[in-house]
């Protein structure tokens, strides 16, 4: 299950950028700045799988808040399990790429989302 979910910055996936693997989902609540919708080849835009506006604003990409942000976001994901269902269904068919816009690749919600989906698959016996 190591490479089942690939994370990629949306700006690296535009046009002729690095190829995304398998099904491709944008997992940000807001559309990325400066990206034309036709530049991305998406299987879905999963706004509800992104952190809530309040949590995103509170976090503000502050690495000092990362641990608390991760815990709060995990709770949000547990409260809305259907938000990740498209990812789970796609994983039944093969690899998935999750696109996100954050510059900081070490403190992005996509990491928490990926780990949440992997853990849920293990719990449900599908991964």
pLDDT given for residue 124 in this prediction: 86
Question: 23: which 2 tokens?
Answer: 């099904």
Listed as ranges, residues in the chain with pLDDT below 70 are 1-3, 14-19, 127
Instruction: Return the domain boundaries, the chain.
Output: 5-124
d(CA 53, CA 30): 9
- Phi then psi for residue 112, to 5 deg, are -65, -45
**What is the pTM assigned to this prediction?**
0.91
């Amino acid at each position: 299950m190591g490479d089942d979910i690939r994370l990629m910055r949306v700006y690296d996936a535009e046009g002729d950028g690095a190829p995304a693997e398998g099904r491709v989902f944008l997992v940000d609540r807001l559309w990325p700045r400066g990206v034309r919708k036709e530049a991305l080849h998406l299987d879905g835009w999963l706004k509800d799988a992104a952190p809530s506006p309040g949590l995103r604003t509170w976090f503000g990409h502050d690495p000092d808040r990362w641990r608390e942000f991760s815990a709060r976001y995990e709770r949000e994901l547990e409260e809305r399990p259907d938000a990740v269902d498209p990812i789970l269904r796609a994983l039944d068919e093969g690899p998935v790429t999750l696109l996100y816009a954050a510059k900081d690749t070490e403190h992005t919600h996509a990491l928490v989302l990926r780990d949440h989906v992997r853990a849920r698959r293990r719990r449900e016996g599908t991964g």
